[in-house]
Structure 1
Amino acid sequence: MAKNIYLIGGGKGGVGKSLVSMATVDFLLQRDEDLVLVDADTSNPDVWKTYKDTARTELLDLDNADGWIELINVADSNQESVIVINTAARNNKSVNAYGQILSNTLPELRRKLVTLWVINRQRDSLELLKEYMDAIPDTVVHVVRNGYFGEERKFELYNSSKRRALIEERGGLSLTFPDLADRVSDDIYSKRMNIALAAKELPLGNRAELCRWRAEVKSMLEQIGHE
């Protein structure tokens, strides 16, 4: 079995996909995984800009069939590498149109598609999640409640939803992504620093906060399993 494909989605902007993608890349690099980062947010490729000098990266437009075809070719030609995909805010429209191109090739790629679906506390996060699961049913979906928007208990719409029950019935997890102090996340974004570099070069107090956050991210992502 080849390495997993991790798709970080959310179907809209402002839920924190970029930071979850960076955290996932950082976690895998700490495990000495060989990886290829695919940033599909071509209009604002924060993740690509942050990791282009650290990891192998591809900037692909998944708004059209050509982008999905190239994604499959990247996955096929890098069988020993984990693929991490940071999706664009408009992702669901393209998934509905072209997602089956990827889904249909997973058996031949011998890869598992694992989705980390990042949500805030609004209802449309659940509606977009349903759309995504309908479009690509052959994926394990883990829902990531972004702690930036509040404690786990505050995600009442998701926590009490039938969608959560279905996610967990299918083997997915309901996870909570730890909040990172604004001054530290601002440094990462504004200075285009990857997380490992930030952990070495930021002021001591900032590094202490980042160390705490990385440890919590590690505990969260270790629950998924990365065979």
Structure 2
Amino acid sequence: MKRIFFIHGDKGGVGKTEVAKRMAAVMLQADQPITLVDGDDKNAGLHAAFKQSGLDVRRIKVLTPSGRDALFDVIAESPGDVLIDLPARGSDVTERLHQDGASEDGFSLPLLMAEIDAELTIVFVIDQTRSPIVALRDEMKALPETTKWIVVRNWREDRAFTLFDTTQTKADLEARGATIIDLIRLDPRVNDILENADGLNLITAQTSDKLSMLQKMRVKAALRSWSEQMQIAGLLE
């Protein structure tokens, strides 16, 4: 069954693109076919990291009606899994993907999933602040019950996820069978190199002369850790 992954978090800076890049790197390493969609036309980090890696990478302005039509075509026509890195205000996109599908401003994602025999997974990224948790709660109420949920706790700060762990939202997620996984912190100096050089990701960085041996070891550790988390979430075949 084809899998459709929406990398979500609603607000900017929560770590959505980092999660998308790490997922893409693990799938590339595992030789799993994947079509990548970078929905952030202003800061296309996913596209920049993988456009030279042999993966199918699309740039689509998913916040526009024409962009959502283009997204429909990619999801329907892709021969394998599709990973969509949503921009900030991603809820503005998902709101228009569970309508009746008759209007020109969106389409029925549940209907499309049934038509192409695909499974929808929301990979929702949170940090230790309140706003992404509120957005997660609201999206759970808005999206179909059949939606599969994976929540990624971004450990970019060394403090507990107390706000999330004590919410009804977490209890509701667990009742739905959601998986909660962890994104470990990568050396900020390494992140800066990866973000500012086209074609660098957790695979290509391992042989790049832009990184020291220690930095390459940290890249390998991050890739290994994320691969383990994806296995926990059942995302590797």
Q: Whole-Å Cα distance in 1 between the matches of residues 165 and 158 of structure 2?
A: 13
Partner of 1:179: 185
| Structure 1 segments of 4+ aligned residues over 6 angstroms from their partners | none
Mean CA deviation greater in 60-69 or 188-197: 60-69
Task: Write the distance in 2 (CA, Å) between the matches of 1:189 and 1:82.
Answer: 25
Show CA shifts across 1:137-180 (max 9, x none).
Answer: 231111111011235xx100111111111111111111111110
Confirm or deny: 8 A CA contact 2:38 2:58 kept in the other structure.
Answer: yes
Alignment of 1:15-164 (within 5 A): 15-54=14-53, 55-79=55-79, 81-100=80-99, 101=107, 102-137=109-144, 138-151=146-159, 154-164=160-170
What is the number of residues matched between the two proteins?
223
Q: Distance in 1 between matches of 2:138 and 2:4?
A: 20
Retained in 1: the 8 A contact 2:37–2:85? yes
Aligned match of 2:174: 168
CA–CA distance in structure 1, aligned partners of residues 92 and 71 of structure 2: 17
Could you tell me which amino acid in structure 2 is paired with residue 224 of structure 1?
A: A
2:232 pairs with 1:223:
yes
Which structure has more helix as a fraction of its residues? 1
Q: In the alignment, is the contact (CA less than 8 A) between 1:164 and 1:174 conserved in 2?
A: no
Aligned letter for 1:111?
A: A
Distance in 1 between the 2:180 and 2:78 partners? 30
TM superposition shift of 1:99: 4.2
Q: Spell out, residue by residue over 1:89-148, the C-alpha distance to the aligned partner (whole angstroms, 9 max, x if none).
A: 111122223344223311112111111100011111111112222232231111111011
CA RMSD of aligned residues (A): 1.4
Cα separation, 1, equivalents of 2:138 and 2:69: 22
Could you say if the C-alpha distance between residues 66 and 136 of structure 1 is closer, same or farther in structure 2, counting changes exceeding 3 Å? farther
Q: Mark the runs of 5 or more structure 2 residues left unpaired by the alignment.
A: 100-106
Name the amino acid aligned to 2:166.
S
Partner SS, residue 113 of structure 2: helix
Mapped to 2, the partners of 1:94 and 1:103 lie a distance apart of: 14
Over 3 Å counting, the alpha-carbon distance change for 1:99 and 1:181 in structure 2 is: farther
For the 8 Å contact 1:36–1:84, the answer to whether it is kept is yes
Amino acid corresponding to residue 61 of structure 1 in structure 2: K
The percent of aligned pairs where both chains have the same amino acid is 26
Counterpart residue identity of residue 60, structure 2: L
Q: Distance in 2 between matches of 1:8 and 1:223?
A: 17
Letter in 1 for 2:179: L
Q: Which residue of 1 aligns with 2:103?
A: none
1:213 aligns with: 222
Structure 1 SS opposite 2:61: coil
The one-letter amino acid paired with 2:134 is E
Find the counterpart in structure 1 of residue 104 from structure 2.
none
How much does 1:78 deviate? 1.6
C-alpha separation in 1, matches of 2:228 and 2:59: 29
How high is the TM-score relative to the length of structure 2? 0.89
One-letter amino acid of the counterpart of residue 225, structure 1: G
Q: Output the CA distance in 1 between the equivalents of 2:222 and 2:165.
A: 23
Could you tell me whether the CA contact under 8 Å between 1:6 and 1:83 is conserved in 2?
A: yes
User: How far off its partner does 1:34 sit?
Assistant: 1.1
SS for the counterpart of 1:148 is coil
